[in-house]
Amino acid sequence: MELAPGAVHVPGWLTPRQQRELVAACRAWATGPVPIRHTRLPHGGVMSVQTVCIGWHWQPYKYTRTAGDVNGQRVAEFPRWMVELGRRALLEAYGDESTSTRYTPDTALINFYDGQARLGMHQDKDERSTAPVVSLSIGDTCVFRVGNTETRTKPYTDIELASGDLFVFGGPSRYIYHGVPKVYEGTADPVTGLASGRLNITMRVTGLTD
C-alpha cells in the first residue's frame, strides 16, 4: 500500500526462511569487526537503539569507512546478495524494472530494539544521494510513525510494522520525518531465530566513493 507518494508498505514480504537468513547474517555483523553498539550523540545522549553498519559506518552525522567512534576498524563489506535483495524490494514496491536494476545500495544500518528502545522523529539527510531507502523488519511488531517533510510534529500517521514487512521510501517521501515510538515486546514469532526484540535493516545509497 502507498501511504504517501513514494512511500510503499508491503506487509509480509520476506518469507520465514529469508527472515532467518537475515537474522543469522545480522548476528554475524553484530559480532564482526565493528560490534553493535548504542550510538553516542554529539551532545552527550546515547541512542536506546543498538546499531551496526555495513558498507559504510554511520555516526551522527556522517558516513565513513572506519568506525572512529567504536574501535577504529573498517566495517564489513556490503554483500552483493544484499544489492540484489534491495533491487527486488524496489521492484516489488514500485514495479519499475529500469529503476530497480539501477538501484545499487552501498550501506545498511541494522538497528536492534529491545522492548524499551525508541527512535525519535527524524529525517535521514546524511546520504549524498536522493535514492530510495529500503527497510526490512524482523521480530517484534512496532509502531512506526510516518510524519511529513516540514516538521517533526503533526500531522503524522501511526502504522504497525511486523516481521517480514518491507517499506520503501523514495521520491517525495525520501525526506519525511519518521520514528519508532513503541515496540510490542514479545510479539515476535521465534521461527525467525530472534528470541526477542526487533531488527530493522535499512539499505541506502550514500553517494560516496573512496
Residues that bind ligand MD3 (CB under 6 A): 109, 111, 119, 124, 133, 135, 167, 169, 174, 176, 178, 180, 200, 202
Choice between 76 and 168, CB closer to ligand MD3: 168
Nearest-approach distance from CB 167 to ligand MD3, in angstroms: 5
Q: Does 126 bind Fe ion (CB under 5 A)?
A: no
Residue-wise over 76-113: b if at least 16 C-beta within 10 A, else e? Answer: bebeeebbebbbebbeebbeeeebbeebebbbbbbbbb
Contacted entry of ligand MD3, Fe ion, none for residue 119, CB cut-off 5 to 8 Å set by kind? ligand MD3
Joined together, the cell numbers standing for residue 44 give 552527550
Choose one: 45-53, 89-97, 104-112, 124-132; the region binding Fe ion (CB under 5 A).
124-132
Nearest-approach distance from CB 10 to ligand MD3, in angstroms: 13
Residues 80-99 that bind Fe ion (CB under 5 A): none
CA 14 to chain centre: 15
- H helix count then E strand count, the chain: 3, 14
Rounded to whole angstroms, the Cα distance separating 60 from 69 reads 10
Joined together, the cell numbers standing for residue 32 give 564482526
Choice between 58 and 100, CB closer to ligand MD3: 58
Q: In 10 A of CB 135, how many CB atoms?
A: 22
Choice between 135 and 163, CB closer to ligand MD3: 135
Rounded to whole angstroms, the Cα distance separating 208 from 94 reads 25
Choice between 33 and 120, CB closer to Fe ion: 120
Q: Tell which one of 69, 92, 114, 124 touches Fe ion (CB under 5 A).
A: 124
Rounded to whole angstroms, the Cα distance separating 88 from 101 reads 9
Choice between 92 and 124, CB closer to Fe ion: 124
Nearest to 101 by CA among 122, 120, 86: 86
Nearest-approach distance from CB 53 to ligand MD3, in angstroms: 10
Contacted entry of Fe ion, ligand MD3, none for residue 57, CB cut-off 5 to 8 Å set by kind? none
Q: Which residues in this chain contact Fe ion in the complex, by CB under 5 A?
A: 124
